[in-house]
Structure 1
Amino acid sequence: MYCYTCGSDEQHRPLTAAEKAWLKNRTGRKSVEEFFMCSKPGCRNLRTGFNQHPFDPVIRLPQPD
């Protein structure tokens, strides 16, 4: 999938349960099943399958502890 932040096609993966919980809390959405995270090291940009830039400003998942 294309990553708006990286400016190129990058691998994306579905969110883990902990990441979904964080995103729900951050956005107030009830469902975040449609989101994917860029797998390029350091990026962590979020997108959906159809919308490469769903948030303005960009939301990135925080680095795991």
Structure 2
Amino acid sequence: MTYYCHTCGSDQPHRQPRDDRERDVIRELAQKQKPNAFVDDYWICVSAERDCRNIRYAWSTKPFEAPHKMPEPEE
């Protein structure tokens, strides 16, 4: 899915959370603003030009006051 990315400043490809770790990160962020937030309504930027990983809400370009990025997977 292509959405506007606030961090990249242009339309970029986005994906939904892939695993429980990513869903937990989004759930923690979203619960602070919307107690009944649906995690799959949040998308992660997967820009091919840069390693963005900015998290956005499907209906809002900038859902968080400060942009939040999905942390790198722990190895």
TM range (shorter): 0.7 to 0.9
Structure 1 runs (4+) deviating above 6 angstroms are: none
Residue 24 of structure 1 is matched in structure 2 by: 27
Size of the aligned set, in residue pairs, is 64
Matches within 5 A, 1:1-65: 1-16=3-18, 17-25=20-28, 27=29, 29=31, 31-40=38-47, 41-65=50-74
Q: Which runs of 5+ in 1 are unaligned?
A: none
Cα distance in 1 for partners of 2:70, 2:55 equals 7
TM-score normalized by the length of structure 2? 0.74
Looking at CA atoms only, which structure, 1 or 2, has the larger radius of gyration? Answer: 2
CA RMSD in angstroms, aligned pairs only? 1.6
Q: Which runs of 5+ in 2 are unaligned?
A: none
